[in-house]
Amino acid sequence: METKYTGPKILLLIVLLLTACSPIPSESVTVRETEISEGPAAGEVKIAAENTAEPVASGMEATIPMTEVTMLHSSMVGRDYRINVALPLNYSKNTSKTYPVVYLLDGDLLFGALTGPTRLLQAVNELPELIIVGIGYGMPWDDTGEVKRLRELDYTPNASPDGGAEQFLKFIQDDLIPYIDANYRTDPMDRTIGGVSYGGLFPLYVLFSAPETFNRYIAVSPALWWGDRMIFACEQEYADEHSDLPVILFLAVGGLEEKQYPTSGMVSNLVEFHRRLEDRNYSGLEMEMMIFEGETHHSVFPGAFSRGLRSVFR
């Protein structure tokens, strides 16, 4: 287990801006709608972006190649989720190959930011080819009040009426993962989940309630303060009954977050959490933690998630 401290990754941020959602100058993108006839999502409409040979229309929105979108209903949670899927660029060339899947929370905001840099790292063999699944709500982030309400409902444990992580986990286990496995060539033995803030807290909730759901976990700037640090109690309950935790875990936080949110203890809580897991000496646990100096709660994601993927797939 290792703790590292690093400065800002300026080059990575430049690459992010250049690659995340770059348009294709000689091609346009059409939208394809198909009704799914098999699998757990039978009857759902899948919307796929396809490249065509037609010239790009003036004013057309930039689209990420080899991505698909579908709305998936959860009867457990009682609402629809927008599911963005990014396939490896060579997905159609090798029809027998299966791929690890990375499930990304806050997909409405972060899906595009992750897809381009991840493909770059795949192209230079710093990451394996991956399927990225962004889980979102299909609403703009300028509606911050509603987005915040839904994130709190889905990503926080059930310590209060606002916590709905148990139901959201059941949606992932019973609806989303079966849908992805039925419609794409996935490796069912290689799943990763990751997120930021509340979205970084939820993977840790899964880690101590159903760790077998995923093989790799990425928690960036997790809201460990939530519910009077309830996640520490979740870890204690797990430790009381288990001596092993066979997963790969990456933890990260921005070095400026402690000052940015002094009552939340973003850095100190994560350092304490990491030390606690080290002291447990769980069998099978591989773990790395990094503090990204000079980064805030909102700027840390690009470099931290890129480093997190390389850490858990090393």
d(CA 218, CA 290): 12
Token pair 């396939």: residue: 87
Using CA atoms, how far apart are residues 77 and 166, in angstroms rounded to an integer? 10
Q: 237 an active-site residue?
A: no
Q: Which helix (H) or strand (E) element contains residue 152?
A: helix 144-155
Decide if 197 is catalytic: yes
Angle between helices 198-209 and 144-155 (to 10 degrees): 10
Q: Write the CB contacts of 218 (distance below 8 Å, at least 6 apart in sequence).
A: 192, 193, 194, 195, 200, 203, 249, 250, 252, 305, 308, 309, 312
Q: Which one is catalytic: 44, 221, 295, 297?
A: 297
Structure tokens at 177: 């993962």
| The pair of three-digit structure tokens given for residue 227, joined into one six-digit string | 């519910």
Catalytically annotated residue among 257, 258, 288, 295: 257
Q: Where are the beta strands (DSSP E) in the chain?
A: 2-6, 28-35, 45-52, 67-74, 79-86, 99-104, 131-136, 186-196, 216-220, 248-254, 286-292
Which of 179, 171, 259 shows the shortest CA–CA distance to 210? 171
Query: Which residue of the set 197, 221, 306, 311 is catalytic?
Result: 197
Q: Is 54 a catalytic residue?
A: no
Distance between CA atoms of 313 and 213, rounded to whole angstroms?
17
Query: Phi, psi at residue 29, to the nearest 5°?
Result: -125, 130
Question: Contact 304/267 with Cβ under 8 angstroms?
Answer: no
Token pair listed for 244: 């092993």
Which of 22, 225, 20, 231 is CA-nearest to residue 134?
20
Residues assigned a catalytic role: 197, 257, 297
